[in-house]
Structures are given as C-alpha cells and as structure tokens.
C-alpha cells in the first residue's frame, strides 16, 4: 500500500474548500492509501483552523480527532533542517522520513520545490491524483 504524508495545508484545504485535497483524504479514509501524521502536524492543524479560518477551538479539536481516526500517528525521532524559508515545513519532512513514506502531498511551494527528499517524492494533491504513483496502486 502507498505510504503518504499530507502537509497541513492539504488537511486545511480539504476541510475548508474540498476539491483535490479532500479526494486525497478520501483515499485514506477508504483505506486505499496509508496516511501518516505526526503530533506537530496535528498541532498546526489545531491552531490554523481557528486563527486563519475562524473555526471554534471545539470544531478544530473535532477535525483533528477525525484525522486521527484514519491516519497513522508517528513520532519522528530525527530532526531535519532542510527548509530554511519556512522552518515548520521541516516537520512534514520529519514525519515522512519516520513513516517510511513514498510520497508527500503538499500545496506548499517551499516543500514542492524540493521535489524529493531521501527518495520520497513531493507533489501537489492534483499531481498525486493524476500521477503514476497513484495509478500504480489502483
């Protein structure tokens, strides 16, 4: 099964706007891909929804609990310092390395500019849905 890490912006986009990010999460909810998440990604999601989108703390907490219901939690042990422009993006990389992920799905330009880290491809939600990685597991 394809091992995937989604950046926080994928969760936020799925929850607020739907579209391709929600399609990626639907694949995880249905068990077609294995999605991994870490405590820092969950914490960022919990804080971004109220701060940037006006969600109540209770609604943000429920959204995080929902994600925990279909994603596998990993606790990265290795600290990475690859992205200097937006240091918290490194938490996504750490999660992917700890999970042994095949792909990171992200809408973040700093992450996507890397294209790959340690053999882990970094693609947008649409690229993931349209690309050969997903087609290989269908």
Topology, domain 3-137: Rossmann fold (3.40.50)
Encoding tokens for residue 38? 């870490």
CA 129-134-138 angle, to 5 degrees, is: 115
pTM as predicted: 0.94
Distances in Å between the alpha carbon of 74 and those of 31, 36, 41, 60, 132? Answer: 17, 7, 10, 20, 26
Do 11 and 45 meet the contact criterion of CB atoms below 8 Å apart? yes
Local confidence pLDDT in tens for the 138 residues of the chain: 999 999 999 999 999 999 999 999 999 999 999 999 999 999 999 999 999 999 999 999 999 999 999 999 999 999 999 998 888 999 999 999 999 999 999 999 999 999 999 999 999 999 999 986 655 554
């Amino acid at each position: 099964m394809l091992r995937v890490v989604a950046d926080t912006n994928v969760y936020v986009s799925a929850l607020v706007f739907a579209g391709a990010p929600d399609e990626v999460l639907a694949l995880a909810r249905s068990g077609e891909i294995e999605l991994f998440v870490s405590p820092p990604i969950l914490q960022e999601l919990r804080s971004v929804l109220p701060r940037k989108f006006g969600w109540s703390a209770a609604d943000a907490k429920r959204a995080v609990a929902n994600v925990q219901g279909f994603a596998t939690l990993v606790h990265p042990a290795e600290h990475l310092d690859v992205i200097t422009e937006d240091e918290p993006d490194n938490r996504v990389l750490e999660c992917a390395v700890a999970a042994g992920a095949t792909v990171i799905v992200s809408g973040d330009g700093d992450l996507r500019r890397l294209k790959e880290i340690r053999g882990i491809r970094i693609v947008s939600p649409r690229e993931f849905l349209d690309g050969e990685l997903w087609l290989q597991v269908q």
